[in-house]
Structure 1
Amino acid sequence: MFPSRSPQGLMQSMAIILLIFTLEIERVRSRVFTFAPSMRISQLSNWLNQDYPCQGDTIVFEENKKTVTFIDESMQVSSVILPHVGSLIFSDNSVLGEKSPWQCTRRKSPEKVFFQPEAIFPAFSDPASWTVDDKPLLHMNMVPGPKDDVIFHDVGAFQISIDDQVTVNTLKVSKDWVGPNTG
């Protein structure tokens, strides 16, 4: 394992041992990952060109894309063109036909506005889908692993693409933890 007994060889060996030790510590440390994408109707980034609906506008969902949308606040629009496949989930306080603070007042002439989140099915294996408090991380540790805890937002709707079997320590959805030590 040791290249040579010279001072330079000894330094290389110590650097290799330190790297292995650091990687081992990094591998066993657990973290809390929070799923970042949101399908809230009131989130500006979910609207094409960040053009959200004003009173009297028409909301258009992409007709051929599966869509899960959380109507987290009231909204007043003239019509909604729904997708062929999808779900609209209303919060307890949302009312269709009532203006919400996030909406702009009427335009001179009503427009069509398009609900198009950046990622319709964000991937579990995509580091951009997750937020972690203690950055920076090695690339291999930027998505949840078997020792990590995963949180999906307490309020709202979400959809995620999982292309392979995934193991995490615990999973929190709607304020409930599920895992080996949660009873």
Structure 2
Amino acid sequence: MLSFRGLQGLMRSMAIVLLILTLEIERVRSRVFTFAPSMRISQLSNWLNQDYPCQGDTIVFEENKKTVTFIDESIQVSSVILPHVGSLIFSDNSVLGEKSPWQCTRRKSPEKVFFQPEAIFPAFSDPASWSVDDKPLLHMNMVPGPKDDVIFHDVGAFQISIDDQVTVNTLKVSKDWVGPNTG
């Protein structure tokens, strides 16, 4: 028959084993991480003070910052001041010079509006750069790891800062999978 101390020790040992098993199960479970930042021109949060362009306004990109911007919808403005280094990528059906439903009609006097996404180069290692397929995670699991699947949306342009070597299970960029079974 076990004494009270013996029973306490057994319970403590069982709790430790259960904790280790739980952590191990969490570690090997694959999750799907989706790169969340968007460089779409129609996304309100990409405009300084959420002041997006109306018809006839001037769009200003930050002069000295590398910028990749996805023109996902048509846009009608009077001019665009481009950055020194960057890319504008147009969707198949976007037209420069045609008003889009997300744009406001002309202001009394045209204004300069500034395209300034929150993160110019979102970091791979920043948990804020990712949305995860299910519930909240421990801090150590908030960025993709070797057993996780990673998706970069096929809705246009993105840019990301990767400051170290990264290993993931599978990687989806656009409509193509890159993973262990795809070569």
Normalized against structure 2, the TM-score is what? 0.95
1:4/1:118 CA distance change after superposition, 3 Å: farther
Q: CA RMSD in A?
A: 2.4
Instruction: Please list the CA deviations of residues 33-63 of structure 1 after superposition, one character each: whole Å capped at 9, or x if unmatched.
Output: 1100000000001001111000000000000
Residue 26 and residue 95 in structure 1: after superposition, are their counterparts in 2 closer, same or farther (change >3 A)?
Answer: same
- Counterpart contact for 1:2–1:10, Cα < 8 Å: no
More deviation, 1-10/48-57: 1-10
Give the deviation of 1:138 after TM superposition.
1.2
- Which residues of structure 2 form unaligned runs of 5+? none
1:13 CA displacement: 2.1
Larger deviation: 107-116 or 9-18? 9-18
For residue 2 of structure 1, report the CA deviation from its aligned partner: 15
How far has the Cα of 1:6 moved from its partner?
Answer: 3.5
TM-score (norm 1): 0.95
Match of 2:87, SS? strand
Offset from partner CA, 1:10-46 (integer Å, 9 cap, x none) = 3322221111110000000101111000000000010
Bigger mean CA offset, 4-13 vs 170-179? 4-13
Instruction: Report deviation, 1:5.
Output: 4.5
Segment drifting more, 91-100 vs 9-18: 9-18
Distance 1:3 1:105 in 2: 81
1:72-96 Cα shifts (integer Å, max 9, x gaps) = 1110001101001111111111111
Return 5+ residue gaps in structure 1 as ranges. Answer: none
Where 1:14 maps in the other structure, the secondary structure is helix
Query: 2:143 & 2:116 partners in 1: Cα distance?
Result: 25
Matched positions, count = 183
Please, which moves more after superposition, 131-140 or 110-119?
Answer: 131-140
SS of 1:16's equivalent in the other structure is helix
Deviations 1:92-112 (A, max 9, x none): 111111000010000111111
Classify 1:112/1:2 alpha carbon distance in 2 versus 1 (closer, same or farther; 3 Å).
farther
Distance 2:4 2:134 in 1: 38
Post-superposition offset of 1:136: 1.5
Q: CA separation in 1, counterparts of 2:102 and 2:3?
A: 64
Q: How much does 1:170 deviate?
A: 0.8
Q: Is the CA contact (8 Å cut-off) linking 1:3 and 1:9 kept in structure 2?
A: no
Q: In 2, are the aligned partners of 1:33 and 1:131 still within 8 Å (CA)? A: yes
Q: State the alpha-carbon separation in 2 of the partners of residues 56 and 8 from structure 1.
A: 76
The answer as to whether partners of 1:54 and 1:104 remain within 8 angstroms in 2 is yes
**2:160: which partner in 1?**
160
% identical equivalent positions: 95
C-alpha contact (below 8 Å) 1:2/1:9 kept by paired residues: no
**69-78 or 10-19, which deviates more:** 10-19
